[in-house]
Amino acid sequence: MKTQVLPVTAQSLAMAGRIIREGGLVGMPTETVYGLGGNALDAQAALRIFEAKGRPADNPLIVHVASVDEIPPLVRTVPQAAKKLMEAFWPGPMTLILPKADCIPGTVSAGLDTVGIRLPQSEAARAMIRAAGVPIAAPSGNRSGRPSPTTAQHMLEDMDGRIPLILDGGPCAVGVESSVIDATGEVPVILRPGGVTPEMVEHVLGRVSVDEHVMSPLREGEIVRSPGMKYRHYAPQAKTVIYEGGTDRVIAAICARYDAATAAGERVAILGFDGHDFGARTRISLGHAGSAQDAASRLFAALRELDERGETLALCEAVDTAGIGLAVMNRMGRAAAFDIEHV
Ligand code: AMP
Ligand code: MG
pLDDT in tens, 50-64: 999 999 999 999 999
Ligand 1 atom at minimum distance from 180 CA: 8
Q: Whose CA is nearest to atom 5 of ligand 1?
A: 139
The secondary structure of residue 61, as a DSSP letter, is: P
Which ligand has its closest atom nearest to the C-alpha of 95?
A: 1
What span, in angstroms and rounded, lies between the C-alpha atoms of 292 and 298? 10
CB-CB neighbours of 25 under 10 Å: 29
- Say yes or no to pLDDT of 230 above 70: no
- Rounded distance from Cα 147 to ligand 2 centre (Å): 8
Beta strands (DSSP E) in 11-151 are: 26-28, 35-39, 62-64, 94-99, 114-118, 136-137
What span, in angstroms and rounded, lies between the C-alpha atoms of 149 and 161? 16
Q: In terms of Cα–Cα distance, which of 175, 155, 173, 172 is closest to 164? A: 155
Once rounded to an integer, what is the mean pLDDT over residues 188-216? 95
In tens, the pLDDT along 125-141 reads 999 999 999 999 999 99
- Say yes or no to pLDDT of 223 above 90: no
Q: What share of the chain is helix, strand, coil (3-state, %, to 5)?
A: 35, 20, 45
Once rounded to an integer, what is the mean pLDDT over residues 216-241? 77
Task: Express as a percent the part of the chain with pLDDT over 90.
Answer: 91
Ligand 1 atom at minimum distance from 227 CA: 12
- pLDDT for the residue 222: 73
Once rounded to an integer, what is the mean pLDDT over residues 170-176? 97
94: CB partners within 8 A, 6+ apart: 85, 118, 178, 179, 181, 194, 195, 196
Q: Can you give the pTM of this predicted structure?
A: 0.96
- Rounded distance from Cα 281 to ligand 2 centre (Å): 31
Q: Candidates 31, 33, 36, 62: which one to mutate for ligand 1, based on the most atoms within 8 Å of Cβ?
A: 62
Cis? peptide before 7, omega within 30° of 0: no
Q: Whose CA is nearest to atom 19 of ligand 1?
A: 115
- pLDDT for the residue 106: 97
- Rounded distance from Cα 120 to ligand 1 centre (Å): 15
Residues lying with their CB under 5 A of ligand 2, a single-atom ion: 140
Q: Please, what are the domains in the chain?
A: 4-178 (3.90.870.10), 239-342 (3.40.50.11030)
